[in-house]
Amino acid sequence: MLTIFLILLLYCAQCIKTSVFLGVFFNLFYFSLLPFQKYSTIIGILSMILKISMFYI
């Protein structure tokens, strides 16, 4: 169990740079789409999922 966790941790450490980039990209995308309420809710949900996944990394 611990080895699986460590492997996942190492894998996530390699993904930190891309996830930070994606987080910034999604935030910019979200704020640019705020006037379009239908789409901004979808982007908001996606960015929320991304923030939660980044929190666990």
pLDDT in tens, 3-45: 777 666 667 666 666 666 777 777 776 666 666 656 656 667 7
Evaluate whether 54 touches 20 at the Cβ level (below 8 Å).
Answer: yes
Residues 26 and 39: their CA atoms lie apart, in Å, by: 12
Residues 47 and 30: their CA atoms lie apart, in Å, by: 8
User: Where do runs of H (alpha helix) occur along the chain?
Assistant: 2-32, 37-56
pLDDT at 51: 74
pLDDT at 25: 73
Evaluate whether 47 touches 26 at the Cβ level (below 8 Å).
Answer: yes
